[in-house]
Amino acid sequence: MHTEPITYIVDDDPALRDALCMLMESVEIHASAFARAEDLLESGVLEQSGPACLLADVRMPGISGIALMEHLREAGIAIPTILITGYGDIPMAVRAMKLGAVDFITKPVNHQALLDLIQNTLRDYTPASEPDADSDEDALLQRFHDLTARERQVFHCITAGQTNRMVAEELGISVRTAEFHRARIMKKMQVHNLADLTLARVTIQARLSQQAG
């Protein structure tokens, strides 16, 4: 777990990576840069909890910014994501917004606008639940009760290790609908990855057992 705000930067342009890192550090935001989305995924840093956001280029060799967002969604990793796009990539950026991107910025990058966007994103960061006290557990249980009946079905499926496709087949819904419910559940439960959501399920089950007893 990290406690200091951090921005993960993924861009295949080394000059832009360096410039963005310097920009983040100029306002005391730690930055960690990667040349490829594959390097970011292999590092495992996105599994950590703490205030963070992701800044990625739409067009990159290998895994693109869009494909990266799709991979993170499939893995249950919810991190606020900002896409960098060329003027010709606007349709792709719109697609990214539908996947849940916070926003997208166009090249050449307006440094002040980017800083404002990242600072606002980190400021609005909601930490993953760490239900280690009664009040935290009660709040977690209330968030669970606030889920719709369908969302609770999806909740149990994904915390049992099912993929979006498996959830769709079991519940008779489309994969896109399963993805939508998954994203909504992550937001409502205030968690940022599948590991935290699974931990939340264990805590909820224990709390319900206590109440039943």
The model's pLDDT over 34-73, given as tens digits with 9 standing for 90+, comes to: 999 999 999 988 877 778 999 999 888 899 988 999 888 8
Q: In the prediction, which pLDDT does 203 show?
A: 84
Q: In the prediction, which pLDDT does 150 show?
A: 92
Q: Determine the Cα–Cα distance for residues 57 and 68; give it in Å rounded to an integer.
A: 10
Give me the domains of the chain, ranges plus CATH numbers: 6-123 (3.40.50.2300), 134-212 (1.10.10.10)
Peptide bond into 5 cis (omega under 30): no
Q: What are the helix (H) ranges across the chain?
A: 14-26, 37-43, 65-75, 90-98, 111-123, 134-145, 149-158, 164-171, 175-189, 194-212
Q: Determine the Cα–Cα distance for residues 202 and 163; give it in Å rounded to an integer.
A: 19
Higher confidence at residue 73 or residue 6?
A: 6
Q: In the prediction, which pLDDT does 144 show?
A: 92
Q: In the prediction, which pLDDT does 38 show?
A: 95
Q: What pTM was computed for the model? A: 0.58
Model confidence pLDDT, tens digit, residues 182-213: 999 999 998 878 877 888 888 888 878 877 76
CB of 190 closer than 8 Å to CB of 200: no
Q: Average model confidence (pLDDT) for the chain?
A: 84
Query: Three-state SS for 104?
Result: strand
Q: In what order do the strands lie in the sheet with 81-85?
A: 30-34, 6-10, 52-57, 81-85, 103-106
- How, if at all, do strands 30-34 and 52-57 pair? unpaired
Q: For the purposes of burial, counting CB atoms within 10 Å of the CB of 159, is it exposed (0-12), middle (13-18) or buried (19 or more)?
A: buried
